[in-house]
Chains A and B, each alone.
Chain A
Amino acid sequence: MKIVGLHSALRTAILAVALCAGVPSAGHADDFQAKLAYCKTCHGLSGQGYHGYYPMPRLAGQQPKYIENQLRAFIEHRRKNEIMANVAHALSPSMVSALAHHFRDLNPPPLGGGGSGSAVAMGKRIYEEGLPESNVPACSACHGPDARGQDQIPRLAGQLPDYFHAKLVNWAAERGQNSSMPDSSAIMGPTSHNLTKSQISAVAAYVSSLR
């Protein structure tokens, strides 16, 4: 018992030190601006996302809880992405929170580019009504009628269509990669599995056009 007590005391102490170290002060305003510029270098100068060699997702308007959870997912290897794991390791909890709340309040127009006309119409129907015959629920049920997400559930509105498509066609290898740490991404497993590639493209076209 003594050892257990010591352990938990030690953990509390480490946590306390970590939290104190992360508390922002006026002197850290420059640090925040520098880190924000660092994020925007890849994710778009207004957080609107950017097409580099890889599509880098839109962060503008994203749910802070979702951003925080994903940055933890990179560190915990629930999402495998070496670049983002390095990025996340260099962020204090208070910096993550400050960045996430900054991005939530940005609202640049979407980059779009997912297609138009019939694809968007088909995507809208799947988004709002699902595909009962394929056991696909309506996306709007969780991501909201305006696709802005809620809490841990991400905003999809304005997301880069190629990013969206790449994640959904490969969900089983994209998320939930640490079997000892199951997470809420498992909810999307059956849904993404039951969508065809062209249906995923259609939903991508629709949500990527939303403001």
Chain B
Amino acid sequence: MKWIWPKLAILALLCSPVPSWAGSSIAASVRDCTWCHGTGAQGYTIAPRLAGQRALYIEAQLRGYAAHIRDNPLSKQYMWGAAANLRTDTVRDLADYLASLPPKSAHDGRRVLVERGQTIYLQGIPDANIVACLACHGPAGQGVREIPRLGGMSYFYLKRRLEEWGQGYHSASGSPMPLAASTLGPDEIEALASYLSFVK
């Protein structure tokens, strides 16, 4: 284990997306994010893309981790600790910086489900009491204010999050998502996550 830290430190310096901020506390915080969320914050395996995410959403979620409101297992395991000691102005700077990075689409969903997912996203399924996602997340999944951008996020992340709402986990107080996701079956979740992973 001893050898890994110098290696990681060198890697971090090489990969730092903000060389102009090297040495400042925000640069250090960004490096802490990119350990898991990937260089350029485009997401990596279980850690979601943060690039291009709504700044107010990032801020709200970081506050939610610190207050132990967002309580799904991976949040508890990784983000509660990561967000525990962030100052308010650091949270804001991080959110603004990450929001300013151009997002890349994951393209990792199932293509055959894209059309079905798009229909559910844009129109919902009124007969099954499934709401249209675009009413809150926007016609291109761009999000607004504290409502997250979904377009181009990874299939695996979107799928897991949609499943977790149904398992009783929380994200923000007063969020309509537990209700919105409660009528989604496995097929609808697959289709939505697939569609969104291809959205630009």
Q: Which residues of A contact B (CB under 8 A)?
A: 34-35, 37-38, 40-42, 45, 50-54, 56, 82-83, 86-87, 89-90
Contacts and interface: CB of A to CB of B under 8 A. Distances in A.
Contact of B129 (A37, A45, A82, A86): A37
Given A37-B129, A86-B126, A56 B135 contact: yes
B179 A41 contact: yes
Interface string B163-178: 0000000000010100
Given A42-B176, A52-B147, A87-B126, 17 more contacts: A37-B179, A37-B182, A38-B130, A38-B183, A40-B176, A41-B179, A41-B180, A45-B176, A51-B145, A52-B136, A52-B137, A53-B134, A53-B135, A53-B147, A56-B135, A86-B123, A87-B124
Contacts of A41: 131, 176, 179-180
Interface of B: 123-124, 126-127, 129-132, 134-139, 142-145, 147, 174, 176, 179-180, 182-183
Contact of A53 (B137, B176, B183): B137
Q: Which of A51, A83, A89 has the most CB of B within 10 A?
A: A83
A99 B3 CA distance: 65
A83 B145 contact: no
Contacts of B124: 83, 86-87
A89 B176 contact: no
Nearest to A88: B126
A87 B182 CA distance: 18
A87 B126 CA distance: 5
7 contacts: A37-B129, A45-B179, A53-B138, A53-B143, A83-B123, A83-B124, A87-B126
Contacts of A53: 134-139, 142-144, 147
Contacts of A42: 131, 135-136, 176
Please indicate which of the listed interface residues A34, A42, A52 has the most CB atoms of chain B within 10 Å of its own CB: A52
A53 B134 CA distance: 7
Contacts, number: 59
Nearest to A51: B145
Nearest to A35: B129
Contact of A54 (B123, B131, B135): B135
Contacts of B136: 42, 50, 52-53
A58 to B, nearest CB: 15
Contact of B132 (A37, A51, A83): A83
B182 A82 contact: no
A90 B126 CA distance: 6
Contacts of A50: 136, 176
Nearest to B176: A41
A52 B141 CA distance: 12
B133 to A, nearest CB: 9
Contacts of A54: 135
Nearest to B139: A53
Given A41-B176, A41-B179, A52 B135 contact: yes
A35 B124 CA distance: 13
Nearest to B146: A51
A57 to B, nearest CB: 12
A145 B151 CA distance: 46
B129 A34 contact: yes
Contacts of A37: 129, 179, 182
A82 B126 CA distance: 12
Contacts of B132: 83, 86
A172 B181 CA distance: 36
A108 to B, nearest CB: 12
